Structure 1
Amino acid sequence: MDTKHKAILLGIASALFFAATFVLNRSMSLEGGSWIWSASLRYFWMALLLFPLLLARGELRALLREMSKNKLAWLGWSTIGFGIFYGGLTYASSFTPGWLVAGTWQLTIIAGLGLSPLLNRSDRSVSRNTILFSLIIVLGVFILQIPLAKSVSTDDLLKSVLPVLVAAVAYPLGNRKMMQITEGRLTATQRLLGMTLASLPCWIALAVVEGCYNGLPDGNQLLQTFMVAVTSGVIATSLFFRATDLVREDERGLAAVEATQSTEVAFALAGEVLFLHAPFPGALSLLGIAVISIGMVLHSTGRAGTKRSDD
């Protein structure tokens, strides 16, 4: 198996675990949990889980040394890539079902493509085919959302869509900038802990404000955020970082890996039906999933080439 296809499989595996975020965040929202606690607790748990792991591996010192070289960059890009990204997703889950949030989130595919010419230092750009295949995925996402979007108020729809649009740009931006800064010197787990630690000032500030005004989270929210931290924060993010590291010099490969995240929609939908007893989707929603799958296959077959910017 070549590097690109290995990265794609890792991306799909990460999407499965990422889907737990949308299901659990929706569950906590339905139970009256604060979106701020849902977001901040995930990263507190991640720090507690990853810090001793890297310490035991003997990889912590190298990470801290790398972070000390460019403290402001770590703080800024981690706050964007983790803080703004996840704050937007958890806020949106307060207003709409998790799978609809997951559907809107797939616009990160287009955001990743748009960021490529701005962040890429080489003379290669994303081809028309890559853009076309990504637009097919977005079309599928749009079809998938139509039935439920009709039943949601305009106000709630805006409150769910706008934060996710910002998150869709923030995540690939923060991730790619940190890849450029570290230049492959850190493992995926090291980079994950580094960005988690660097984003903690954001989460601590939000948690202090929320605790002062609305009180502390209950035991159930503590448990569910721990589950999010393990499945999505540690497992899924590590897999995704590993996938993007494998193809970090290949814009076609990066686009394909980021496109694998579209499968989160189907995984999140299945999770809500099974665990939250959401209604089973109708024919139009199933059509949307099929269109997303077609776009995924087109990306993964490697037909989406790159071209030189002066072609």
Structure 2
Amino acid sequence: MISLISLGILSGLFFSTTFILNRMMSLEGGHWLWSASLRYAFMILILTGFISLFKGLGTLQGLVRVFLKNWKFWVLAGSIGFGLFYSLICFSADHSPGWIIAATWQLTIIASLVVLMGFGRSFPKRAWLFSMVVFIGVLLINLSHAQVSSIRELLFGGLPALVAAFCYPIGNQLVWEAVNGNPSLPNINDPLVENPYHKVLLLSWGSVPFWLILVAVVRPPMPLVGQVFNTIGED
């Protein structure tokens, strides 16, 4: 369990650089929706090319069949774990400094434990002890920032990041549960889904309807050239 928490902290550190880049693009005038949606558009293109080149078109066709067989599940998991998660993170970047979002994101360690409990898992007390240390650290950082920021900045910056911290583990755990035979979910028992790159591509495909609906509703201005290149750099 300690290794799981350590892995969560390490993952949070890697994500933190992304949050700072999102904040930079926001300050340059790029719309948060393009920062979010273009990342997954490029991810789909890169992973599709990578899998086709190194695994062959047969593998790609197999992934398409896996997706279409349970497309409702992949749309649900992808919309929550990728779409809702990253759109909220990029929205937060428009209202709070990147370091605040990066700090708040560490709550995903606690959120992951809560999500796993929702699926019937249990944890030793020391896991919650380490989680409490993380929670206190995030709370102190946000309280210090509250002294120099407005209520609007806290609500529009910190709250979406907090919700995103739950969305990411929910989407990923849904896939894990489906692959491992949870009777409440479709049985996705296919060897192709064991590959982590394949899972990311399937979830990315599933997030596409979410991005299209969000773009249609928000109607953002066209992305800046620098924003497009920065988004490619994130991947």
Q: TM-score, normalised by structure 1?
A: 0.65
The residue that corresponds to 1:194 in the other structure is 202
The residue that corresponds to 2:22 in the other structure is 25
SS in 1 for 2:122: strand
- Gaps of at least 5 residues in structure 1 are 231-311
Identical aligned pairs, as a percentage?
39
Q: Distance in 1 between matches of 2:233 and 2:213?
A: 23
Q: Distance in 1 between matches of 2:64 and 2:231?
A: 26
The residue that corresponds to 2:36 in the other structure is 39
The residue that corresponds to 1:224 in the other structure is 230
Per the TM alignment, residue 11 of structure 1 is displaced from its structure 2 partner at its CA by 5.4
Q: Distance in 2 between matches of 1:182 and 1:194?
A: 13
The residue that corresponds to 1:215 in the other structure is 221
Per the TM alignment, residue 198 of structure 1 is displaced from its structure 2 partner at its CA by 0.9
CA displacement 1:142-174 (0-9 Å, x = unmatched)? 223333231111111111122122211111001
CA 1:13–1:114 in 2, change beyond 3 Å: closer, same or farther? closer
Q: Distance in 2 between matches of 1:11 and 1:106?
A: 8
* Number of residue-to-residue matches in the alignment: 221
Q: 2:81 aligned with 1:81, yes or no? A: yes
Letter in 2 for 1:220: G
CA 1:214–1:72 in 2, change beyond 3 Å: closer, same or farther? closer
- Gaps of at least 5 residues in structure 2 are 181-188
CA 1:20–1:97 in 2, change beyond 3 Å: closer, same or farther? same
The residue that corresponds to 2:186 in the other structure is none
Q: Distance in 2 between matches of 1:72 and 1:176?
A: 16
SS in 2 for 1:203: helix
SS in 2 for 1:143: helix
Confirm or deny: 8 A CA contact 1:84 1:167 kept in the other structure.
yes
Per the TM alignment, residue 8 of structure 1 is displaced from its structure 2 partner at its CA by 7.3
Per the TM alignment, residue 16 of structure 1 is displaced from its structure 2 partner at its CA by 4.1
Per the TM alignment, residue 107 of structure 1 is displaced from its structure 2 partner at its CA by 1.8
RMSD after superposition: 2.3
Letter in 1 for 2:115: L
The residue that corresponds to 1:249 in the other structure is none
The residue that corresponds to 2:66 in the other structure is 66
The residue that corresponds to 1:145 in the other structure is 142
CA 1:8–1:147 in 2, change beyond 3 Å: closer, same or farther? closer
What are the equivalent positions in structure 2 for 1:151-300 lying under 5 Å apart? 151-183=148-180, 185=191, 186=193, 187-210=195-218, 213-228=219-234, 230=235
RCO greater where, 1 or 2, for CA within 8 Å and sep 6 or more? 1
Q: TM-score, normalised by structure 2?
A: 0.85
Per the TM alignment, residue 207 of structure 1 is displaced from its structure 2 partner at its CA by 3.0
Per the TM alignment, residue 19 of structure 1 is displaced from its structure 2 partner at its CA by 2.0
Per the TM alignment, residue 20 of structure 1 is displaced from its structure 2 partner at its CA by 2.2
Confirm or deny: 8 A CA contact 2:22 2:35 kept in the other structure.
yes
SS in 2 for 1:137: helix
The residue that corresponds to 1:299 in the other structure is none
